[in-house]
Amino acid sequence: MGIKLTQMRTFNAVARTGAFSRAARRLGVSQPAITAQIRTLEADNDVLLFERRGRIAVTLTDAGQALFRITGALDDIQDAAAALLDRDRDRDGGSLTIATASPEVLMPLVAKVRDAVPGLKLDIWVGSTREALRRLLDREADIGLFATANGAPDERLASLPLVEQRLCALMPANHPLAIAGEPITLAALAREPMVLRADAAETQRMADRALTAAGLEVRPVLRLDSRMAAYEAVAAGLGASFVLEHDMPRDPRVRGLPLKDVEERVWETLCYLRRRREMPAIARFIDVLDEG
């Protein structure tokens, strides 16, 4: 039976908001109307697109995810067309939402863009690489900045590598190795009690690859799900940790030391959905950075 344009908009709204009630508010219609459209779409095509999770939330099935990868472009087209037709709205620079796992890298870039486009309004979300990527793919963010080993982590994304990163050790400032201030080996770091990040963190994945390649194991005393918590644990003397070179905290209580035998590098990479490249505010942000 296929899918009608109105059904596509409704499906997208439910997929993005994760609930029929929120989709109804987003589209300005009643919840029963949303429910009826989705049920008709599923029945006509003999497919289950959403799984119900509790009284309110819904999640996409595999078939729903496959459909959303196609229909999600409709929102991008509508946004791009609206921006083109409503030029006055973007005359002052427009607005962007950025999701990043690397605020230390992002803020100098933001300052550069703001110098070139003073009227640009920015909302910035800071968290894990995985969550930043999810927000970008779900269009909750216009641009993402996070560390990647091999370019864009999803085929729907285009990427602009900006800053090369190497893996370093993070030590309490009063530790003898930190006082010496010299690059150390991975083996020397592995002998220390370690504060580790959650497995989803790109820094931890990079560290795990290096440890596996060297045949080393560490003694974890803590595993934390945020970078700032790991920094505080190191500052309190609970152990050492891993940090990317340009994510080093400006904190006199800790000190970063290069790991001289870890050769792998990653890049802080600006990512955006390919179909949204010509959105005026996104294009301005990318063009400023791409020009050098």
pLDDT at residue 73, rounded to an integer: 77
Q: What φ, ψ does residue 56 adopt, rounded to 5°?
A: -120, -50
User: How many of the other CB atoms lie within 10 Å of CB of 206?
Assistant: 21
> Could you tell me if 157 and 273 are in contact, meaning their C-beta atoms sit under 8 angstroms apart?
yes
Is the same domain home to 236 and 104? no
Q: How far apart are CA 177 and CA 231, in angstroms?
A: 17
User: How many of the other CB atoms lie within 10 Å of CB of 39?
Assistant: 11
Q: Is the pTM of this model over 0.95?
A: no
CATH number (domain holding residue 62): 1.10.10.10
Per the DSSP assignment, residues forming a β-bridge with 213 are: none
Is the same domain home to 120 and 249? no
Q: How far apart are CA 200 and CA 130, in angstroms?
A: 7
Low-confidence ranges of the chain (pLDDT < 70): 80, 82-93, 199, 292
Is the same domain home to 116 and 25? no
- Tokens linked to 1: 């039976």
pLDDT at residue 261, rounded to an integer: 94
Is the same domain home to 175 and 139? no
Q: Considering the domain boundaries, does residue 172 fall inside one?
A: yes
Is the same domain home to 187 and 259? yes
Q: Considering the domain boundaries, does residue 42 fall inside one?
A: yes
Q: Considering the domain boundaries, does residue 18 fall inside one?
A: yes
pLDDT at residue 91, rounded to an integer: 58
In the numeric block, the tokens 């609930």 are attached to 19
pLDDT at residue 201, rounded to an integer: 81
Strands 121-126 and 241-244: unpaired
Range of the domain at 128: 87-163+267-290
Helices (H) and strands (E) in the chain, counts: 11, 11
pLDDT at residue 181, rounded to an integer: 95
Report which of 44, 45, 80 is spatially closest to residue 66, judged by C-alpha positions. Answer: 45
CATH number (domain holding residue 257): 3.40.190.10
Q: Considering the domain boundaries, does residue 80 fall inside one?
A: no
Per the DSSP assignment, residues forming a β-bridge with 271 are: 144, 159
Residue after which a domain boundary falls, among 72, 96, 120: 72
Q: Considering the domain boundaries, does residue 168 fall inside one?
A: yes
- Tokens linked to 291: 């020009």
Report which of 172, 165, 168, 177 is spatially closest to residue 239, judged by C-alpha positions. Answer: 172
Is the same domain home to 95 and 229? no
Q: How many domains does the chain have?
A: 3
pLDDT at residue 252, rounded to an integer: 96
> Could you tell me if 40 and 8 are in contact, meaning their C-beta atoms sit under 8 angstroms apart?
no
Report which of 275, 282, 259, 271 is spatially closest to residue 162, judged by C-alpha positions. Answer: 271
pLDDT at residue 93, rounded to an integer: 65
pLDDT at residue 103, rounded to an integer: 94
pLDDT at residue 199, rounded to an integer: 65
Is the same domain home to 255 and 235? yes
Is the same domain home to 158 and 99? yes
pLDDT at residue 156, rounded to an integer: 85
